[in-house]
Structure formats: C-alpha cells, structure tokens
Amino acid sequence: MNTHSKLMGGLFILALIPTAIWATQTKGQTTSNSADGGISVISKSVLSQSQPDFSWIYVQQDGEMTIGAGHSDDWEQLERQGNPYHADYLWVKTAGTPYVITDPAIVAQIKTAIMPMQQQGEKMQAIGEQLQQKGDAINSQTQQLLLNVATDNEDPQIQAEIDSLSASMEVLDQQMNELSKVHESLSNTAEKQIVSLAQAAIKAGTAIKTP
C-alpha cells in the first residue's frame, strides 16, 4: 500500500469516529448536570412506539440519577426542579396528565424492574468510553500521518498503530451492537412493567397529579 492509500485509509477511519461516538451516546448512557443544582441525567431514551403517549422518569432520592423515556421538555422540567419529594419517585405522564408516584412499595417494584436495563446500560457506557478513547487516539495518529506526508517523512509505525486501533474499534462496535440488542429487549420488558404499575397506581389513587 502506498503512502496516499494509507493516508486515505486513515482519514476514512477518522471520518467514522463521530458516527461511532454518536451511536454510543444514543444507545448507551449519557450524563448531564443541571446548572441550578437539579437532578443529574444518567440515562434517557426516546418514547417507545408501543407507548407513544406515555412518558416516565425515575428519580432517586439524592437526585443523582434518573432514567426513563420522555420528551425533552419533560427532562428539562425535572432537571430544573430537582427532587422536592426527598424520596425515590416515578414521574409519569399519560394522556397529557403528569403524575408522581412516591409509594415505597410501588417504587421498590419499579426499581427492580429497571435494574437489569440500568446494569446493561452501564456495560454499554464502559464500551462507549473505550470507543471514545480509541477514536481520540486515531485522530491524533492521523494528524501526525498528515504532517509526515506533508514533509515526506513516512513512518510505517503510525499507520500500523492506526490499523490496530481501527481493528479494535470494530470489535468494540460489534460488542456495542450486541449489548444494544439486549438493552432494547430489557427496556421493552421494563417499560411494560412500569406502565402496568403506573396505571394501577393511577387507578388506585396512589399516583398524585402534578401541575
């Protein structure tokens, strides 16, 4: 392979990095902190196709973790208000009406339901961090490769390192895809349980309507 082909190969791998990172952030967990001391968002997902009118967000007592599925304005609202209930709770919105469920017995069942999904998400986050690190390394090596080509100073070792990093990224990406499939299945199972628990709480009057 000549220098031009090596360079193009390095640039192609570089172009794939943002896609890999985007996929990691979409499938795995993302973290953000509210500037005014609100809750920290650890994992959020889009509304499911099976329950398009049902949003849910689980918040821990300390306000450090929330997980669920909802519209962006739902997340923003809870991030701003933090945790005024001083207990783990489930926020849900169905048919446009928001509710809060703080009953310890129901919350315990919800926590059990989401735990497998959360644990799977943590595995995906670890893979995502590795992809990010290797992507950064490829970016650095590719920049050096460009500099070497510009100065006619070839260094086969750099291309070898890029090839090795890109190969390991492919392996990690495959692992991420496999984890994502399992996560999707766990998410669907958890959501069905949460919807059932929330609907029962609303019917029983243990879910509190909120503004």
pLDDT in tens, 71-97: 888 888 888 877 888 899 999 999 889
* Mean pLDDT (the chain, rounded): 74
Burial 99-113 (b: 16+ CB within 10 A, else e): bbbbbeebbeebeeb
Which pLDDT tens digit goes with each residue over 51-60?
667 888 998 8
Confidence tier at 118 by pLDDT (50, 70, 90): confident
Spatial neighbors of 142 by CB under 8 A, at least 6 apart, are 10, 11, 13, 14, 162
pLDDT of residue 38: 40
Phi, psi angles (nearest 5°) of residue 135: -65, -40
Smallest CA-to-CA distance from 23 within 207, 203, 172 is with: 172
C-alpha 80/C-alpha 32 separation (Å) is 12
pLDDT value for 51 = 64
DSSP string, 169-189: HHHHHHHHHHHHHHHHHHHHH
User: For the residues of 71-130, what is the DSSP string, one character each?
Assistant: -HHHHHHHHHH--TTSS-EEEEEETTEEEEE--HHHHHHHHHHHHHHHHHHHHHHHHHHH
Comparison of pLDDT for 36 and 178, the residue scoring more: 178
What distances in angstroms separate CA 58 from CA 35, 99, 114, 140, one per listed residue? 20, 12, 9, 39
Quick check: 30 pLDDT over 60?
A: no
Query: Cα–Cα distance between 67 and 58 in angstroms, integer?
Result: 5
- Condensed to tens digits (0 to 9), the pLDDT of residues 152-206 reads 666 677 777 777 888 888 888 888 888 888 888 888 888 889 999 999 999 999 9
Q: What is the mean pLDDT of residues 107-135?
A: 87
- Start-to-end CA distance of the chain, whole Å, equals 65
Give residue 50's pLDDT: 55
User: Is the pLDDT at 109 greater than 60, yes or no?
Assistant: yes
How much is the pLDDT for 176?
85
**To the nearest whole percent, how much of the chain has pLDDT over 90?**
18
Q: Is the pLDDT of residue 32 over 50?
A: no
Residue 22 has pLDDT above 50, yes or no: no
Residue 153 CB burial class (10 angstroms; 0-12, 13-18, ≥19)? exposed
* The two three-digit tokens of residue 77, written as one number: 């609202």
Q: Determine contact, residues 185/77, Cβ cutoff 8 Å.
A: no
**For residues 129 and 1, which has the higher predicted lDDT (pLDDT)?**
129
Say if residue 2's pLDDT is above 70.
no
Stretch (H or E) spanning 55: strand 54-59
Distance CA 99, CA 207 (A): 6
